[in-house]
Amino acid sequence: MIENILKNIDINSEWFINNRRELHKIPELDFDLPKTTKYITTILDELGVNYKTNIGKSGIVADFIGKDTTKTIALRADIDALPILENSDCPFKSEHIGKMHACGHDVHCSVLLGVAKVLSTIKEELPCNVRLIFQPAEETTGGALPMINDGVLDNVDAIFGLHVHPSLHVGKIGVKYGPMFAASTTVNIKIIGKSTHGAFPSDGVDAIVTACQVVSSIQSIVSRNTDSRDSLVITFGTINGGTKENIVANEVTLTGTIRTLSQDMRVFAKTRIKEMAEFVAKGYGACAEVNFRDSYDALINHDSFVDIIKSSGEELLSKENVINIPKSEMGAEDFAYYLEKVPGAFFLLGTGNEELNACEPLHNDKFKIDETSIPLGIKMQVLNIFKAYEFLKNR
């Protein structure tokens, strides 16, 4: 039966790809996704699929009832876009100036709509319940937690997600055991000194000089306080302070990001940054106010479900086209929150093709994909459902 299902996916390739192109025209940001959600619900209505809207503010959840109602497998797609002006002459380029699906969420959404179409034709053969999660705001404040708080994972036994990746050629997937994406924390440091005339610096406390030393000293946390076998990135992206070239600045604000692959390292980094900033500032006669804002947690895959993805990939694409990713990405992904609640795994879907100039990186204004990856993504997720059910049933 599953072989026939996978073969039938190829028959509908044009439909799947058209969905992606229509979604690509209407990129929207954060939780404000009226056109995107309208398009999704229109397709679900046409397929006769039961769904709920306004989950986690503007998310959508579609449910399929299978033979074994004691097991539920979820699939998630993020559906928001980025504030980027698209640099493309394709006929389906963004119609919303300054907004673009430059991270492939239009692909993720079209894959999930494709799964919905497949499942709507095999309702009698569906082995278990399946929940499709269309999630907003992955690129901003994170739409996963609001959806989880609204019960999207209630009674879910396992979950899978995917992300397009231009560095993987179409026809390949990437898998990673354990930590796959990093936790993200924003750091804000305010250095408070004392202003004076620039000709008489000894009469004041230079917040700019102090801030420079704080940044330099904090970098030693990575090189001298962190086990070289662990991962830690500390980057300061902004520095603002001072009012005039001949006035010693009395205040400087630094903002940056911390990336870690474990909660212990996250706590350690925050502790050391606070200590370093405060004591270095004190040494220069200034003071430092340090604040942190935790964003996404580290995405840690569950090994058994990575095995399932590998098995699906080897069956569909052959063993050599399933790439074991050797190192974790230090970017962040809020699919992490789902994996903290239920077992599952996240994988990369190859979309690169140099012949089509589909090799620009994510978040690039020229980003494009090889659209033949869309049916492959659908096949992967459908096969993951069947294999995961067999695993859960026999566990």
- Coil, strand or helix at 115: helix
Closest CA to 114 of 313, 388, 371, 375: 375
The mean per-residue pLDDT over the stretch 300-325 comes to 98
In our burial notation (b when 16+ CB lie closer than 10 A, e otherwise), range 22-39 reads ebbbbbbbbbebebbbeb
- Coil, strand or helix at 194: strand
pLDDT digits (tens, 9 = 90+) for 212-267: 999 999 999 999 999 999 999 999 999 999 999 999 999 999 999 999 999 999 99
3: pLDDT strictly greater than 90: no
353: pLDDT strictly greater than 90: yes
The residues near 272 (Cβ < 8 Å, ≥ 6 apart) are 221, 225
The residues near 217 (Cβ < 8 Å, ≥ 6 apart) are 276, 280
The residues near 314 (Cβ < 8 Å, ≥ 6 apart) are 322
State the pairing for strand pair 68-78/158-169.
parallel
**Under 8 Å between Cβ of 64 and 49:** yes
The residues near 165 (Cβ < 8 Å, ≥ 6 apart) are 174, 348, 349, 350, 351, 352, 362
- Coil, strand or helix at 271: helix
The mean per-residue pLDDT over the stretch 345-367 comes to 97
The model scores a pTM over 0.75:
yes
More confident site: 60 or 6: 60
**Under 8 Å between Cβ of 328 and 179:** yes
pLDDT at 395: 87
How many whole angstroms separate alpha carbon 142 and alpha carbon 295? 8
The mean per-residue pLDDT over the stretch 341-359 comes to 97
What are the structural domain ranges in the chain?
2-180+298-394, 183-294
The mean per-residue pLDDT over the stretch 162-185 comes to 98
The residues near 148 (Cβ < 8 Å, ≥ 6 apart) are 56, 337, 338, 341
In this structure, CATH architecture of domain 183-294? 2-Layer Sandwich (3.30)
Closest CA to 130 of 63, 50, 45, 47: 63
1: pLDDT strictly greater than 90: no
Return mean pLDDT, the chain.
97
The mean per-residue pLDDT over the stretch 55-64 comes to 98
360: pLDDT strictly greater than 90: yes
Is 3.40.630.10 the CATH number for 2-180+298-394?
yes
pLDDT at 207: 98
**Under 8 Å between Cβ of 288 and 189:** yes
268: pLDDT strictly greater than 90: yes
206: confidence class by pLDDT, cuts 50, 70, 90:
very high
The residues near 302 (Cβ < 8 Å, ≥ 6 apart) are 339, 343, 344, 345
